[in-house]
Amino acid sequence: MDNISALIEKQREYFNSGATRSVDFRKEQLSQLARAVENNEDKVFDALKADLSKSQYESYLTEIGILLDDIKYVIKHIDQWAKSKKVRTPLMHSPASSWIHPEPLGVSLIIAPWNYPFLLALSPLVGSIAAGNCAIIKPSEFSKHTSRLLADIVRNEFDEEYLAVVEGASEASQALLKEKFDIIFFTGSVQVGKIVMTAAAQHLTPIILELGGKSPSIVDSETDVSLSAKRVASGKFINAGQTCIAPDYVLVQKDIKDEFVAEFGKQLKLFYGENPQDHTDYPRIINDKHFNRLVELLNRGRILHGGQVDLADRYIAPTLLDGVTWEDPVMQEEIFGPILPLIEYEDISQVITWINSRPKPLALYLFTTNEKVQKKVLEEISYGGGCINDTLIHLATPYLPFGGVGNSGMGNYHGKASFDAFSHYKSVMKKTFLLDNPFRYPPFEGKLKWVRKFLK
């Protein structure tokens, strides 16, 4: 698309002008973004309701509040982050001084998903702005109301030579990926992540991939079973399970399985009543295609709680599924919906073997008061991040980098990690003309013993 090429060239010219490099400029743009979010809060509520049937509370908790908190944190710390940092210089290079200087990369491409369409479009943008870049956002066409709102907000608040939104279906994404960017930030599925990585390789463009995977919850016998069931259910069914770090399945120690199942059912009724379909706090599936895929996953196993579906309403009840095997379809792909398979285990070593035989998960949640078990899981399983005795909340803090490992992604963001993700750290050593070390120049005869002394 010629207009996309022209837009990128316009942003590159603006970046090369140096306008985005001032820290004061960056802070003002971040403040302007925060004001825009606050001023459009009701419109955000309406868009998320139209796309995913989210309540205002859930929309603020999971999309608006986290974003505003991150912006506030970044503005508070950006002066320090953007400074050059002095480091030591080896004796053999003296007299000299050395420092590391953070600089913006240039023009960023941010490809956002549909499940948290407001937060996951603008949260990476915070890092891009903080580091001093220009940016183009490509929202998901599946969350069309939020996509339109994002385009309106950015167009009304910022010049397109600095920030812009490109709407459209897969053709727009393909056109963008053919272009050369200085960094690409993608949030979405593993399959599309591979496509993005292949496209980025054509231009040797650095990428941040925030993907997904099957994130386990582990419920040990030494735990508060009621509270564990409550927190697993809460983390699973927020946004109707359409969360990249939602518990994808739960492994329960067999001695407490029956108690856990009973408590899980109690918590569902406390959350959503006898009929979650009638409850205003329970969202819907994004589209018919995703709905039909999820319904197919209910064909294996035994439903312990939930299981009701309604295509006309794109409703799938919060469902706990027993009697599944590792070979069943529900255990072969990321579920990304309100279906939670349960598998019992006997020993934590068995759990570690199971998880480590599969792709590394984006998140892991362990419920236990046994510190030896905590230490064993932490040291022996590789995963992006997670919680002990809770779910999801490790994402909602600017103090913890967020990201995956292996199939679940590469790179981190949030807080300082967002600034780092969109920056290049330039290393510089400054020498003086007052003194010059003769040992670095030919001829080298007789100098080896002196170099050895310096380098020991």
Catalytic residue numbers, as ranges: 210, 244
3-class SS string, 370-419: CHHHHHHHHHHCCCCEEEECCCCHHHCCCCCCECCCHHHEECCECCHHHH
Return the amino acid letter for 269: K
Helix H or strand E segment including 47: helix 41-52
In 105-195, which ranges are E strands? 107-111, 134-138, 163-165, 183-187
Locate tokens 């020498």: which residue?
431
| CA distances for 248 relative to 4, 65, 175, 190, 366, angstroms | 38, 25, 33, 15, 13
Locate tokens 């299981």: which residue?
307
Please answer whether residues 367 and 232 qualify as being in contact, where contact means their C-beta atoms are separated by less than 8 angstroms. Answer: yes
What is the distance between the alpha carbons of residues 159 and 402, in angstroms, rounded to a whole number? 30
Name which of 150, 116, 117 is nearest 36 in CA terms: 150
Name which of 423, 424, 401 is nearest 413 in CA terms: 401
3-class SS string, 5-42: HHHHHHHHHHHHCCCCCCHHHHHHHHHHHHHHHHHCHH
Cα 192 to chain centroid, rounded = 15
Angle 119-131/144-157 helices, nearest 10 degrees? Answer: 30
Angle 371-380/348-356 helices, nearest 10 degrees? Answer: 20
Name which of 315, 9, 62, 362 is nearest 214 in CA terms: 362
Query: HSE on the CB side for 434, CA within 13 Å?
Result: 5
What are the phi and psi torsion angles at 384 (to 5°)?
A: -65, -50
Please answer whether residues 165 and 136 qualify as being in contact, where contact means their C-beta atoms are separated by less than 8 angstroms. Answer: yes
**Residue 81: both structure tokens together:** 């982050």
Locate tokens 């285990």: which residue?
345
Please answer whether residues 258 and 33 qualify as being in contact, where contact means their C-beta atoms are separated by less than 8 angstroms. Answer: no
* Cis peptide bond upstream of 216, omega within 30: no
